[in-house]
C-alpha cells in the first residue's frame, strides 16, 4: 500500500535582543560562567515581577509579517505550569489564548515543485535554563532562563522531509536577514509531529512528536526513521502505535519513546496576572512595517530580474552577510548583476585558493565598489581589476592607489601597448621568423612577453590582435 506522510512543525527561535524577555539580563543569556547572566527576576526569586521587553514584540511582529501572518492587535501572556529543575518558577510564561501572530503562509520549494505551508500561529515565550550532567552530579545553569523565543507552529501541511528542510532553510535565511535571530547552532530548535495514513485517506493516523532537535540533518533523518516505523507498524503490525513524545538519538539514528503525550490540561494554563495585555496600535504596527526587511521571495525576484544566475541567487540568499555586502556596493552606484558576479565568482575564487569559504569574505564595500567602478569605467581591464581585488582581499590595500603604484592604470592607452609589442618583436627576431614560417606558438611566446611587461594590465584580446597584425606585416 502507498502511504502519505503528514508532518507539522513547532520551531523555537531565539530572538536577537539586547536583553532577556522580562528582565535586563543580557539577551542571549551567554555568560562567561554558568549562572553569571541571571538576576532575581529570571532566577525565580519570590516577589520578583516580569517587565515586558518591547523589542521582543517588534521582532515577533516582524517575523509574522515575513511569514504573511495576521497580527493580533491584542495579545496576552499565560502561565504554563510544570516542574523541572531548569525552570526556577515552576511555570513558563508563554502565549496560549491570544498569540501575537496567526494564519500565515510560507511557500517552500523542493525538487517536486512549490507547496504552500500554512502557519497556524507564532507566539512569544521565555526559554528555560539548562541542565549540565557530569560525573555523579547534575548542575543547573540559569543563564538561558528567560531568553526570548518565538515559537512558529505550522498546520500539518508537510508531506516529505525535503519540504521540512526547505521550510527550515527559508525560515533561517529570512530571520537572519531580518535581524530577528542569528539562528546559530542551538538557537533554532524543532519539535516534529508526524503521522502516516494510506494515500488518499482523509483521516489522520496516530501522531507522535519528536522533541527538541536542532540540526536540519538530524530532523531529516528522524523523520525518515519515524515514518518507516509508522509504515512498518501499519503494514506488518510490528508494533502498536501510540500517541507519545519521542526523542531522536543521533548516534543510532533511531527514535525512542520518552513519555506519553501531554495534553493542554496537564499544564494548567492560566492568564499571567503579572503582565498587562499588549495592544499594538496602528502607529506602532506601521513603524514595525516600515522597518521590515525585504522578504526572501521578493529578494529572489529582484535578483532574477537583474539577470543573476539561479545558482548565484541561491548562494547570495543563503548568505546574509554577502547579500548585505552586495546591497552596500550597489548603493554606491555599482550595477547589481555585475557586483553579484564579482562577489560570487571572483571573490569566491580568490578565497577558495586560500582554502576559505565565501562566507569568510572580509572586504570593505567601498573598496570593492572602487574596483568594480574602475573596470566598469574602462580605467583598467577586468584582468587588472582582478589583480587589484586579490591585493584588496589579501592585504586590504586601497584599490585606486594600488593601481597607480603598480602602473595598472597607465598601460591602457594604445600607444603604450604598441610600444611594448614593438620592443618584444625587436628583442625576439627568431620568433618573428618562426611565426612567418607558420609556427603559431612563436606568437604565444611574444604575447606572454608583452603581458609580462604590462603586468597583466593590458587587455589580452587587444594585445593579441595587435601583435598578430604586426607579425603579419
Ligand atoms: Zn534576569
In Å, how far from its chain's centre is CA 134? 34
* The pLDDT of residue 28: 81
CA 294 to ligand 1 center in whole angstroms? 33
pLDDT over 60 (residue 412) = no
Measured CA to CA, the distance from residue 473 to residue 470 in angstroms comes to: 5
pTM of the full predicted structure? 0.72
Are 141 and 129 in contact, with CB atoms under 8 Å apart? yes
CA 264 to ligand 1 center in whole angstroms? 28
Cell numbers linked to 456 = 597583466
pLDDT over 70 (residue 413) = no
User: Which position has the higher pLDDT, 385 or 456?
Assistant: 385
Segment 69-95 mean pLDDT: 96
Segment 33-51 mean pLDDT: 92
Give the closest residue to 208 by CA, choosing from 191, 189, 232.
Answer: 191
φ, ψ dihedrals at 385, nearest 5°? -60, -40
**What's the CATH code, domain 414-472?**
1.10.10.410
Each domain of the chain, given as residue ranges in start order, spans 3-283, 294-405, 414-472
Confidence of residue 192 (pLDDT cuts 50, 70, 90): very high
DSSP letter for 12, please: E
Confidence of residue 267 (pLDDT cuts 50, 70, 90): very high
CA 190 to ligand 1 center in whole angstroms? 25
CA 79 to ligand 1 center in whole angstroms? 18
Segment 10-18 mean pLDDT: 96
Confidence of residue 80 (pLDDT cuts 50, 70, 90): very high
- As a dihedral over the C-alpha atoms of residue 24, residue 26, residue 31, residue 34, rounded to 10 degrees, the angle is 40
* The pLDDT of residue 456: 63
Confidence of residue 173 (pLDDT cuts 50, 70, 90): confident
Measured CA to CA, the distance from residue 148 to residue 333 in angstroms comes to: 39
CA 143 to ligand 1 center in whole angstroms? 8
Please state the length of the chain.
473
* The pLDDT of residue 259: 76
φ, ψ dihedrals at 306, nearest 5°? -80, -5
CA 145 to ligand 1 center in whole angstroms? 8
What 3-state DSSP class applies to 303? Answer: helix
Are 231 and 241 in contact, with CB atoms under 8 Å apart? no
- For the segment 294-349, what is each residue's pLDDT rounded down to a tens digit? 777 788 888 999 999 988 998 888 777 888 899 999 999 999 999 999 999 999 99
CA 42 to ligand 1 center in whole angstroms? 4
pLDDT over 90 (residue 460) = no
Measured CA to CA, the distance from residue 38 to residue 173 in angstroms comes to: 30
Amino acid at each position: 500500500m502507498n502511504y502519505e506522510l503528514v508532518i507539522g512543525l513547532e520551531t523555537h527561535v531565539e530572538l536577537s535582543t539586547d536583553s532577556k524577555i522580562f528582565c535586563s539580563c543580557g539577551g542571549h543569556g551567554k555568560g562567561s560562567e554558568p549562572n553569571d547572566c541571571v538576576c532575581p527576576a529570571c532566577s525565580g526569586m519570590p516577589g520578583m515581577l516580569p517587565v515586558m521587553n518591547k523589542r521582543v514584540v517588534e521582532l515577533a511582529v516582524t517575523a509574522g509579517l515575513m511569514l504573511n501572518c495576521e497580527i493580533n492587535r491584542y495579545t496576552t501572556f499565560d502561565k504554563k505550569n510544570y516542574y523541572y529543575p531548569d525552570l526556577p518558577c515552576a511555570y513558563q510564561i508563554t502565549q496560549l489564548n491570544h498569540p501575537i501572530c496567526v494564519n500565515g503562509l510560507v511557500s517552500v520549494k523542493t525538487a517536486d515543485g512549490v507547496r504552500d505551508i500554512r502557519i497556524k500561529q507564532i507566539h512569544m515565550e521565555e526559554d528555560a535554563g539548562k541542565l549540565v550532567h557530569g560525573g555523579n552530579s547534575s548542575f543547573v545553569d540559569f543563564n538561558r532562563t528567560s531568553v526570548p523565543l518565538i515559537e512558529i507552529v505550522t498546520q500539518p501541511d508537510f508531506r516529505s522531509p525535503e519540504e521540512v528542510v526547505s521550510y527550515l532553510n527559508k525560515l533561517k535565511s529570512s530571520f537572519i536577514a531580518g535581524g530577528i535571530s542569528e539562528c546559530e547552532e542551538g538557537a533554532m530548535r524543532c519539535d516534529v509531529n508526524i503521522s502516516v495514513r494510506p494515500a488518499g485517506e482523509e483521516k489522520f493516523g496516530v501522531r507522535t512528536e519528536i522533541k527538541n532537535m536542532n540540526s536540519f540533518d538530524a530532523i531529516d533523518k528522524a523523520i525518515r526513521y519515524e515514518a518507516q516505523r509508522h509504515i512498518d507498524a501499519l503494514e506488518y503490525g510490528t508494533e502498536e502505535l501510540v500517541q507519545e513524545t519521542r526523542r531522536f538519538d543521533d548516534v543510532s539514528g533511531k527514535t525512542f519513546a520518552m513519555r506519553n503525550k501531554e495534553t493542554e490540561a496537564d499544564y494548567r494554563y492560566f492568564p499571567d496576572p503579572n503582565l498587562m495585555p499588549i495592544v499594538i496600535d496602528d502607529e506602532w504596527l506601521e513603524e514595525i512595517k516600515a522597518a521590515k526587511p525585504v522578504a526572501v521571495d521578493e529578494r529572489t525576484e529582484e535578483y532574477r530580474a537583474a539577470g543573476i544566475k539561479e545558482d548565484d541567487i541561491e548562494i547570495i540568499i543563503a548568505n546574509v552577510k554577502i547579500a548585505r555586502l552586495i546591497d552596500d556596493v550597489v548603493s554606491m552606484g555599482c550595477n547589481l548583476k555585475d557586483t553579484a558576479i564579482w562577489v560570487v565568482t571572483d571573490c569566491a575564487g580568490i578565497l577558495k585558493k586560500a582554502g576559505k569559504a565565501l562566507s569568510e569574505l572580509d572586504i570593505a564595500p567601498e573598496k570593492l565598489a572602487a574596483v568594480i567602478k574602475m573596470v566598469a569605467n574602462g580605467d583598467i581591464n577586468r584582468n587588472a581589476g582582478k589583480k587589484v581585488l586579490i591585493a584588496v582581499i589579501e592585504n586590504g590595500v586601497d584599490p585606486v592607489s594600488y593601481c597607480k603604484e603598480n602602473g595598472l592604470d597607465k598601460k591602457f592607452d594604445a600607444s603604450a601597448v604598441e610600444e611594448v609589442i614593438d620592443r618584444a618583436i625587436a628583442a625576439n627576431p627568431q620568433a618573428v621568423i618562426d611565426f612567418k614560417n607558420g609556427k603559431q606558438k612563436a606568437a604565444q611566446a611574444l604575447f606572454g612577453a608583452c603581458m609580462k611587461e604590462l603586468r597583466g594590465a593590458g587587455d589580452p584580446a587587444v594585445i593579441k590582435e595587435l601583435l598578430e597584425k604586426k607579425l603579419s606585416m
